[in-house]
A and B are shown apart, each in its own frame.
Chain A
């Protein structure tokens, strides 16, 4: 397995936020994780990214134990809900940021950033400062900045949480395309049920620090804990109601 998490525990004082976390992920796959606010999703991602150290357990990436490795040495990029674009850099420089840290030759950086801008459909926005970009454009630049460094694993913490429904839908499509084009392995955390189903090759559900990964989407849908059945009932009832209204009209 590409990513193997074994028995990770993380406490804050007396509170156990992540409880005995164990799962694995194949390379070039996306595991979407559904969970309500405060269930330990962010702590889990930050632990895997090296921004928090686990109290126990181990993390293996591509066969290597990275449990105690510094975040800058892991090649795992963590993406926040906020785009966190650097306000003093334009879109081009924001995307080039990770490459400049690695002292890659300028001509290569220019080629790669221009290619990324094209993939993100932002060719004409490259010289704009973050405050001149829309929410969706900013999030795309943020994606580009993460993906261009060719990370082994991408951690996405509700990346579309602050976007409106339309932009969110477009961004979901864009992420799917980018995942395919750049062969990205990722953990996609969300509290949106539909997004979790759409984005993941595999799907998991996190509750009170425990993560359950399902073998397939049917098992996920059948589990009453996930709330999918309730959702289906709600929309089914609404559809039935609309049908009745239509019949009465005719």
Chain B
């Protein structure tokens, strides 16, 4: 019988992919693990139980990260969809589309430095609203470019058809355009959520340490050489994207396929 290497190679690949995640979980459960010990001296839920205490501020960071990312994702997706339609019908649509790439020309930190003067003047420095607006400036052009492929002559024909059947603009969106773009809307929501969730440069400058999202927290713990809390915050950081990925796989990709 011929021996097939395929299952072994595949298993090895899966192990290599899963190892960093398993290691993160192990690290989050450990404390006092020093070289050359093979295993940590303590494995338990001590670190996890501290999430609920105000000492680490992880629960607050998790909540504010969730608030910021959900706000950015919802506002960017909806406004990106609506404004991409206006751009598609605009006579200078190519120029407007080109402008949407502008925030990506600069590195986020440089971009934040450019924005900081205006944010300071408007009193948006160091608060959650300021971070939401700053991240929106990055996520919105992404959504705009993402939806530009949705609009075409056929969609215009659908819109015209609804109008001649007696539908107003609101009915066109609710009964036709949103259902047609449902899959894309969910994917865009997922992507803009991730952009916001893992954003560091803009958040650290506009938030000036007062707005501590989970991503900022991870870097703080790593700077302090507190790997156990760093791993714990990483686990929290991964949790919402995994939930979103699950929903996307179950409800979106299945339908798109």
Measured CB to CB, the residues of A under 8 A from B are: 46, 49-51, 70-72, 74-78, 80, 82, 84, 86-88, 97-98, 100-102, 145-146, 149, 155
B175 touches A101 (CB 8 A): yes
Flag if A76 contacts B164 (CB, 8 Å): yes
Of B47-55, B111-119, B128-136, B154-162, the stretch lying at the interface with chain A is B154-162
With both chains docked as a complex, state the minimum distance between the C-beta of B161 and any C-beta of chain A, in angstroms. Answer: 5
A88 interface neighbour in B154, B166, B180, Cβ under 8 Å: B180
Let me know if A51 and B164 touch, CB within 8 A. Answer: yes
> Which one of B157, B165, B179 contacts A101 once the chains associate, using CB atoms below 8 Å?
B165
Q: Which of A72, A78, A87 contacts B166 (CB 8 A)?
A: A72
Cross-chain contact of B165 among A51, A82, A145, A155 (Cβ < 8 A): A145
Q: Quick check: is B176 within 8 A (CB to CB) of the other chain? A: yes
Complex Cα spacing A2 to B180, Å: 37
Contacts of A70 in B (CB 8 A): 163
- Residue B44 at the chain A interface, CB threshold 8 Å: no
Given contacts A80-B157, A84-B158, contact A71 B164 (CB under 8 A): yes
Give chain A residues whose Cβ lies under 8 Å from the Cβ of B163.
50-51, 70-72
Which residues of B lie under 8 Å from residue A49 when comparing CB positions?
Answer: 160, 164
Q: Cα distance A72–B171 when bound, in Å?
A: 11
CB neighbours (8 Å) of A76 from chain B are 164
Residues of B contacting A74 in the complex (Cβ-Cβ under 8 angstroms): 164
Judging by beta carbons under 8 Å apart, are B157 and A82 in contact?
yes
User: Are B168 and A51 neighbours in the complex by a CB distance under 8 Å?
Assistant: no
Residues of B within 8 A of A78 (CB): 160-161, 164
Nearest-neighbor residue (CB-CB) of B179 within chain A: A88
Does B160 contact A71, Cβ atoms closer than 8 Å?
yes
Q: Is the CB of A84 within 8 A of B166?
A: no
Asked whether B209 is an interface residue with its Cβ less than 8 Å from the other chain, the reply is no
Q: Does B167 contact A (CB under 8 A)?
A: yes
Give CA–CA (A190, B77) in the complex, Å: 42
Q: What are the residues of chain A within 8 A of B158 when measuring CB–CB?
A: 84, 86
In the complex, A76 Cα to B166 Cα: how many Å?
9
- Check if A98 sits within 8 Å of B160, measured CB to CB: no
Tell me the minimal C-beta distance from B170 to chain A in angstroms. 11
What A residues does B154 contact at CB under 8 A?
82, 84
Alpha-carbon gap, A101 to B172, bound state (A): 10
The answer to whether A72 and B157 have CB atoms under 8 Å apart is: no
Partner of A72, one of B167, B176, B179: B167
Given A87-B180, A88-B180, is A98 in contact with B157 using a C-beta cutoff of 8 Å?
A: no
- Rounded to whole Å, the gap between the CB of A211 and the closest CB of chain B is 21
Contacts of B179 in A (CB 8 A): 86, 88
- The CA of A70 and the CA of B172, in the complex, are separated in Å by 14
Contacts of B157 in A (CB 8 A): 80, 82, 84
**Inter-chain contacts of A77 with B (CB < 8 A):** 164-165
In the assembled complex, the Cα of A74 lies from the Cα of B179 at a distance in Å of 26
Closest to A81 in B: B157
- State in angstroms the CA–CA spacing of A98 and B168 once bound together: 11
- Contacts of B161 on A, CB cut-off 8 Å? 78, 80, 84
A71 to B161, CA, bound (A): 9
Residue in chain A with minimal CB distance to B163: A71
Contacts of A46 in B (CB 8 A): 160
A203 CA / B167 CA spacing, docked (Å): 31
CA distance in complex: A227, B162 (Å): 37
CB neighbours of B160 from chain A (8 A): 46, 49, 51, 71, 78
Closest Cβ of chain A to B31, distance in Å, is 53
Cα–Cα distance between A80 and B160 once the two chains are bound (Å):
10
Cβ < 8 Å to A, chain B residues 139-156: 154
Closest to B156 in A: A51
Which are the 10 A-B pairs with shortest beta-carbon distances?
A98-B165, A71-B163, A88-B179, A78-B164, A101-B167, A77-B164, A72-B163, A51-B160, A101-B166, A71-B164
Is there an interface contact between B180 and A146, defined as CB atoms closer than 8 Å?
Answer: no
Residues of B within 8 A of A50 (CB): 163-164
Beta-carbon contact of A149 and B180 below 8 Å: no
Provided the pairs A80-B157, A84-B157 are in contact, do residues A72 and B175 lie with their beta carbons within 8 angstroms? Answer: no
Contact A97 B165 (CB under 8 A): yes
Which of chain A's residues have a CB closer than 8 A to the CB of B164? 49-51, 71-72, 74, 76-78, 155
